[in-house]
Structure 1
């Protein structure tokens, strides 16, 4: 059974799990319920993925009952960030998601909205934003009531040991980009250097944001992000800047990642 509760203002809900098996089951159930809600409300479900271990933790969606009960034909899948490499490259978030998850469920190929991997990072970001704008016009993706931003139904993120989310890294210039939906970097501190990423205003316009964090190696950073006072160190961590304007923020954690959350309120 997961421990859950709400922490301080803008920090969202914590779901702390005894082990990864419990976490993956809870995560699949949570995603499936959000999917069902938006398919009923809008006739479509727009979900943006990141890469890394997050994708492996979504694996329960590929098996019963979710593989049969989720309305996969209504899913539209996007990438909150992507490495600007060929789609068959081992660094590609698209390839990872396709191999581990998307090839095992009946999402329509035309609903997988990946980047153009044949152009520069700058061009790829610009083209991806154009694609999203067209899908906002056709209401596949909703639009925020508060700013010129898409309102994705769900954005799924991981968190790095440095507190980065998507390809938004600490102290990087792209943290200050507010006039673009998708931007690019050519100097990622983690290889490969060229990437595209959703900007913070887009992430914070989503109806639901999930951040999945596992492992003791991230416990100190997570403590700073969740319970930090907002001083110089913690304020520079991009994960701390994930604060949905009107949407819901939920952290899916294992007990190792949550081990330093001494002041977190959960029951």
Structure 2
């Protein structure tokens, strides 16, 4: 069965980081082109980090970019650094510079998480984002949030996804769409993140990770470790879950999990 039609996890291995970013960019464009031809509204969850922003830049530079009906795409973020709106650390700001600013997409389709200069606390920003998610609830599935057509995620060396870090309370939250994070193990210390149920309501979860320092995290995630200690192990799409990795990160991947395509 094709990995696109199966919820089974598969690993797509490329030679190096640049090739991984290129592969994901091309696959994302192809998927969005098809989806915007089929659906009135397409939901895409973005991620930050070098690879995540690199994918968006790759989409911006690709000649097939304008084959997507961007007016139908709604952009979300799996997490955000709770800093001022114009802070270079903001995933939102980086995504706009890499891709969103060059697209013909309505501003109301861009669902950013509130910043510190919004006047909201991190908890209030998370609550506001939960309310925004609820506006697009997937009623057909009984969800209180949208079912992202594609959810892009990075994976840290500690196997964190979004701002869900190992052995912390946030990974256990299941009764809200977004939650504040304080004293994050990775700076900046205050963040807002989607919760695991929202991520796992996605149709397709695509995790992007490169480098030898990620090999252990990937190996543990694929081996079925507890998601409480290895959050990447708990990320699962309803239709498919794909790990896009380079050769270095794939050092501990069983051969049978590698996508032959």
1:30 to 1:143, Cα distance in 2 relative to 1, 3 A:
farther
Question: Which residue in the other structure is 2:179 paired with?
Answer: 183
- Which residue number corresponds to residue 59 of structure 1? 57
Give SS of 1:151's match.
coil
Report how many residues are paired. 252
Q: Matches of residues 102-181 of structure 1 in structure 2 within 5 Å?
A: 102-117=100-115, 118=118, 119-136=120-137, 142-143=138-139, 145=141, 147-181=143-177
Q: Distance in 2 between matches of 1:248 and 1:143?
A: 21
In 1, Cα distance between equivalents of 2:67 and 2:159 = 35
Correspondence for 2:19 among 10, 18, 22: 22
Assess, with a 3 A threshold, how the Cα gap between structure 1 residues 265 and 116 changes in structure 2: closer, same or farther: closer
Superposition map of 1:197-216 within 5 A = 197-216=193-212
Q: TM-score normalized by structure 1?
A: 0.86
Structure 1 gap ranges (5+): 137-141
State the Cα distance separating 1:116 from its structure 2 match. Answer: 2.0
Cα deviation, 1:19-52, whole Å, max 9, x if unaligned, reads 2333223212211222123323321211111211
Match of 2:46 in 1: 49
* 4+ residue segments displaced more than 4 Å: none
C-alpha contact (below 8 Å) 1:60/1:66 kept by paired residues: no
Q: Give the conservation status (yes or no) of the 8 Å contact 1:125–1:183.
A: yes
TM alignment of 1:216-235, pairs within 5 A: 216-226=212-222, 228=223, 230=225
| Counterpart Cα distance in 2 of 1:29 and 1:130 | 32
**Greater CA drift, 251-260 or 97-106:** 97-106
Partner of 1:88: 86
Tell me if the contact between 2:224 and 2:233 (Cα under 8 Å) persists in the aligned partners.
no
- Which consecutive unaligned segments of at least 5 residues does structure 2 have? none
Shift of the alpha carbon at 1:10? 6.2
Q: 1:237 aligns with which of 202, 205, 230?
A: 230
Bigger proportion of residues as helix: 2
Change (3 A) 1:15 1:122: same
